[in-house]
Amino acid sequence: MNELPPALQRYVLGVVALGCVLFVAVLALVPQDNIDLFALSFFFIVGLLTEIKVIKYSKDVSQTVSTAIFIAATFVLSPPGLLLVVVLASLLADIYLGKPWYKVLFNASLRVISFGIPAIFVAWFDLYPRWVVSVSYVLLGAMALGLYVVLTTCIIGVLLALSSHTPLRTGTQRTLTVFSLYDLPLLPYGIILAWLWYANIWLFL
């Protein structure tokens, strides 16, 4: 981590600290009733496998399809269950891929923030899949996805700006460009997977 600029070091540690606080707060304060061990295990295993399978588009651009899996889990699992799944999957995948410790912690913290806050929003407004939906349900669901997009774009945008010594606006624009091309198309798949899980687990498979 010493090779990083001081400002970037402080930012990485700040995101890690915020992620840890949110993780502990959700596990301690949000009630976890009727734990579904099958759902937890399923989303963890699939999330881990998709995190490990990195798709390289170019020298600088790569992604995994875990976004779709974790979006589905956001609309299926409770916030504590979701955070356990995304943290464990992210940590184990990055350790397996041999990433530096600070990247391992940063990536896990990024997922805690970008998925954890939307998960709290989903739980608060009870946006879990159902057969009969209203306009407000659809709008609130779209807002939950919007939260994920904004949080991810902001956190990564600042990271890119600090690492490339460019203005924040430039880093955010670069993040939005990459996000719209590679991650944004995965969001509808996540919603579809959540509904398939609700309708019939075997359709999900």
Mean pLDDT value across the chain: 90
Cα atoms found within 13 Å of the Cα of residue 21, Cβ hemisphere only:
6
The reported pTM is 0.92
Confidence band for 60, pLDDT divided at 50, 70 and 90: low
Q: Which residue type is seen at 121?
A: F
What is the per-residue pLDDT across 109-152, written as a single tens digit (0 to 9) for each? 999 999 999 999 999 999 999 888 899 999 999 999 999 999 99
Choose among 56, 94, 76: nearest CA to 197. 76
pLDDT at 183 over 90: no
- Tokens for 177, please give them: 């460009």
Taking the alpha carbons of 120, 123, 129, 132 in that order, is the dihedral positive or negative?
negative
What is the per-residue pLDDT across 26-55, written as a single tens digit (0 to 9) for each? 999 887 777 789 999 999 999 999 999 877
Choose among 50, 145, 203, 122: nearest CA to 153. 145
Which residues have CB under 8 Å from 117's CB, separation 6+?
22, 147, 151
Which residues have CB under 8 Å from 16's CB, separation 6+?
102, 105, 106, 109
